[in-house]
Amino acid sequence: MIVGITYHEKFSLYDLGLNHPFRGDRFAKARDFLLKQGLNRLPNVKFIKPDMAKWSDIITVHTSKYVDLIFKLAESNKSYDFETPVSASILEGLMYIIGGSISSGRSIYEGSVDRAVNLGGGFHHAGRDFGGGFCIFNDIAILAETLRRNYNAEKILILDFDVHFGDGTSAIFYSDPKVLYISIHQDPKTIFPGTGFIEQIGEGEGEGYNVNIPLPPRTGEDAYLLALKSILIPLSEEFKPDIIIANGGSDAHFADHLGSLGLTVNGFFEVSKILSRCSNRICNGRLILLLGSGYNLTVLPYCWYALIKGILSDGELDIKDPYPPPENPRRNIEKVKDIIVQIKSLLRDYWGSI
């Protein structure tokens, strides 16, 4: 399969400040690491330089009042909240990153690649009329709406494997039965944004289409992968989406500075292989990875590379974790098994496969 990797040097403008956890150099560091590993020399890898997103793209998801607010904040160099600054340069970088997400989808549906990766994005804390948590506009939802409006993608599965629950993405599609949103994240009682519980399953016609897999802090890799396989595989096969969009980065790694889950670099490779196999069986391999998060810049490029390798090859990973792995990959596995039982029990009224 031909894999498109979308990147623009202006992604780095999405830099939230000198002492902020989200710095813009993450994107170039990841790109440089990929080049060092030789991804650009593979015959089935195609690098794509995206165009900037337009106001008309943003307004498909966000309210005009909220979009106008953000543009005014950018003009006056004011923050949206204490951890989400806005400026003209930040907004420019964001519009290129959103353009990268849109370009990833366009490249698949117009036939130049089979699957795609955007080296940026996944701004899942932004809702229709709110932002926060380092997120201003939600490129995941904008991508999904673009695919539905322009390419007749009727059903979309979004897997959110960021360590934090994507409250914005969840809210946008909470009553939409054509978008199955599955989020695997750290227990919201222990981490921002404090929501994303098992009982939050959607509402109205979308009831049963919002699926949360909250995991205890320090959950080991084996337990994490068990939870992901137990929920994602049967639901994706029953839902039969036209495409899978996955967003995350490296913050579920055991050495991340803002999260407390237990994945290794090889664990991200396994997550990506699960996604790859699901997409191969269900939607002709159509899969998009949006990679943005991660707050340990030593491990971030390793994890992003592992995620890309997982959709390129079903073999073994050719790099090692820069840190010694946790001793117990099965940590919390009994608790995770109980969580899986709870999720399946709650969803049986909506899904026959679990």
- Give the global pTM: 0.98
Q: What percent of the chain has pLDDT over 70?
A: 100
pLDDT of residue 352: 97
Residue 32 lies in a domain: yes
Catalytic residue among 62, 125, 185, 253: 125
**201 touches 342 (CB < 8 A):** no
Residue 266 lies in a domain: yes
- Residue range 279-338, pLDDT digits in tens: 999 999 999 999 999 999 999 999 999 999 999 987 899 999 999 999 999 999 999 999
Residue 354 lies in a domain: no
Residue 170 lies in a domain: yes
Residue 229 lies in a domain: yes
Angle CA 129–139–310, to nearest 5: 145
Tracing tokens 């001793």 back to the chain, one arrives at: 327
Domain count, the chain: 1
Identity of the amino acid at 348:
R
Overall average pLDDT of the 258-284 stretch: 98
Which of 271, 264, 257, 141 is CA-nearest to residue 213? 271
Contacts of 282 (CB under 8 A, 6+ apart): 236, 237, 240, 241, 244
What is the Cα gyration radius of the chain?
Answer: 18
The residue range of the domain holding 22 is 3-347
Residue 181 lies in a domain: yes
Catalytic residue check, 124: no
310: its two tokens: 């997982």
Residue 353 lies in a domain: no
Residue 91 lies in a domain: yes
CATH of the domain at 14: 3.40.800.20
